[in-house]
Amino acid sequence: MNKMKKSIWDKYADFIYRVATGGRRRKVLLTSIGAPFWFALLTSVILLSLWVDRVLGLPRFRASWWSVALGTVLLLGGAYLALWSIWRFHRAKGTPVPFNPPPQLVTDGLYAHIRNPMFLGNYLLLLGLGIILCSLSLIFIFTPLFIGISVFYLKAIEEKELEKKFGEEYRAYKERVPMFIPRLRRKAK
């Protein structure tokens, strides 16, 4: 039998699937590593951007009332999306960490309009902080880079794992609900 060679991303998606559908002990262990890793990654992106601004001598724009207001709205909106997603996953008896997801596909609330409100929240949070901190590299380099890497992760790993776990239910949900930007009209189920 001629088997196709799996990519490293397929193998990682399979690993996440095995952990997510496996025993509780392994889920808890990897979740306790995954959650702090995510916060450390976001913090590193912010600190690295401030360091790059300083090392490259990038000009800082002056903070004005409107830039602080815009940054604050983006920051608070992003924090709301991220925290709501964590709360919703907790309510569904899981976490947003891929190793310990809810046992059923979450498709209500914000998830009825976008598939990844927590990621969108993180993007808005980074952009808002970039504006508040007057960091050109956070706004124009690191936030877009973070978005690109996370979209690659979602497409190459998470969506494959979700299709394996939920099958046609997830494929129909993915077809109906956009990744980040809500449609003005929802597609029929």
As given in the structure block, the two tokens for residue 42 are: 């976001």
Measured distance CA(105)–CA(63) in Å, rounded? 42
Radius of gyration of the chain (CA): 18
> Long-range contact list for 106-109, CB < 8 A, 24+ apart?
107/173, 107/177, 109/84
Span 72-88, mean pLDDT? 97
pLDDT tens per residue, range 87-136: 999 999 999 999 999 999 999 999 999 999 999 999 999 999 999 999 99
The overall pTM is greater than 0.95: no
Measured distance CA(4)–CA(11) in Å, rounded? 12
Q: Maximum distance among all alpha carbons in the chain?
A: 66
Task: Specify the pLDDT at position 62.
Answer: 85
- Tell me the DSSP string of 15-78: HHHHHHTS-HHHHHHHHHHHHHHHHHHHHHHHHHHHHHHHHHTPPPPPP-HHHHHHHHHHHHHH
**pLDDT band, very low/low/confident/very high, at 149 (cuts 50, 70, 90):** very high
Write out 86-134 in H/E/C secondary structure. Answer: HHHHHHCCCCCCCCCCCCCCCCCHHHHCCCCHHHHHHHHHHHHHHHHCC
Q: Where are the domains of the chain?
A: 8-176
